[in-house]
């Protein structure tokens, strides 16, 4: 049995405090009754109530949700196909370029991705709005999906697929009844992470959006630039809650199936 040294415990405690204190402070202040953000006026849910009457904010939140649903679904389909191509189809023509295009967006500065997509939309004279942002988010998120699904496919026993095909199942049938159920948890986790990425993005959406498609982060950014506001504390706390629950759920799901996929360990 390993013993954890006092130094390591202190490091972990300090690290986690650094990561979580700022968010905790934000959430606590969102329940502050006082309009002055720095003066504590007692507990209250006043700012959450005021959010509901802020029509443009609610509209933006709905747009962001619809956008995240669309982009997460599209990027999950595309990213899963890309992962299958990379893991199962070995060397195909243009593989190097393909994998380069998968890994580059993971580190690409968002200003470059946003600017380049916008210039594409302008070049083809596409009307900018909901769908252009959806395409941009799909492109950004699909690479994260690919990486997640890929790691699951790599762990997976190819003999299962080969057995199905030896028994006469078509590749599609094999995929639907053998491969898909086994990688489904990774796909679900990837979908949720794509959802969170889309819900959170400010920079790419700012470049590719158009009239009538102001997403929640764009709205928050324009408010927050001017300074700290209690209403914004409340909005941000809600988003932290939603994303936190989604991610914990996603990783529990991944863990659950990880345990099922590796019974020998």
Q: Report the residue from 17, 62, 101, 184 that binds another protein according to the rule CB under 8 A.
A: 101
- Tell which positions 17-76 bind another protein, by CB under 8 A: 18-20, 22-23, 25-26, 29, 37-38
User: Which residues pair with residue 43 across a beta bridge?
Assistant: 32
Q: Shortest distance, CB of residue 80 to another protein, whole angstroms?
A: 9
Tokens 């006082």, residue? Answer: 34
Q: Which is nearer to another protein, 3 or 56 (CB)?
A: 3
Q: Which of 213, 209, 187, 242 is nearest to 73 (CA)?
A: 187
Q: Residue 43: what are its φ and ψ, rounded to 5°? A: -75, 140
Q: Which is nearer to another protein, 54 or 200 (CB)?
A: 200
Task: Give dist(CA 209, CA 207) in Å, integer.
Answer: 6
Find how far residue 92's CA is from the centre of its chain: 29
Q: Shortest distance, CB of residue 114 to another protein, whole angstroms?
A: 9
Helix 55-88 to helix 95-107 angle (10° resolution) is: 150
Positive or negative, the CA dihedral 219, 225, 226, 232 is positive
- Tell which positions 185-214 bind another protein, by CB under 8 A: 193, 196, 199-200, 202-203, 206-207
- Tell which positions 121-150 bind another protein, by CB under 8 A: 122-123, 135-136, 138-139, 142, 146, 150
Interface characters, 240-259, with another protein (x: CB under 8 A) = x--xx-xxx--x---x----
Total chain residues near another protein (CB under 8 A): 97
91 binds another protein per the rule CB under 8 A:
no
- Tell which positions 145-184 bind another protein, by CB under 8 A: 146, 150, 154, 158, 161-162, 165-166, 168, 170-172
Helix 130-155 to helix 110-123 angle (10° resolution) is: 130
């Amino acid at each position: 049995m390993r013993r954890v040294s006092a130094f390591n415990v202190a490091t972990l405690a300090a690290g986690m405090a650094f990561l979580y204190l700022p968010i905790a402070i934000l959430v606590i202040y969102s329940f502050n009754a006082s309009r002055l953000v720095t003066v504590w006026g007692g507990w209250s849910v006043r700012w959450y109530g005021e959010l509901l009457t802020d029509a443009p904010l609610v509209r933006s939140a709905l747009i962001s949700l619809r956008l995240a649903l669309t982009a997460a679904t599209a990027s999950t389909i595309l990213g899963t196909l890309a992962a299958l191509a990379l893991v199962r189809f070995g060397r195909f023509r243009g593989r190097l370029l393909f994998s380069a295009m998968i890994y580059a967006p993971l580190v690409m500065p968002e200003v470059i991705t946003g600017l380049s997509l916008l210039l594409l939309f302008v070049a083809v004279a596409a009307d900018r709005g909901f769908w252009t942002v959806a395409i941009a988010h799909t492109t950004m998120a699909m690479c994260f999906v690919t990486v997640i699904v890929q790691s699951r496919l790599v762990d997976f026993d190819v003999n299962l697929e080969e057995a199905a095909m030896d028994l006469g199942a078509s590749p599609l049938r094999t995929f639907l009844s053998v491969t898909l159920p086994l990688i489904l948890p990774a796909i679900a986790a990837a979908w949720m992470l794509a959802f969170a990425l889309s819900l959170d993005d400010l920079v790419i959406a700012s470049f590719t959006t158009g009239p009538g498609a102001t997403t929640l982060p764009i709205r928050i950014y324009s408010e927050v630039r001017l300074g700290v506001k209690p209403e914004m504390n409340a909005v941000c706390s809600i988003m932290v809650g939603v994303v936190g629950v989604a991610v914990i759920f996603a990783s529990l799901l991944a863990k659950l199936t990880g345990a099922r996929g590796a019974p020998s360990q």
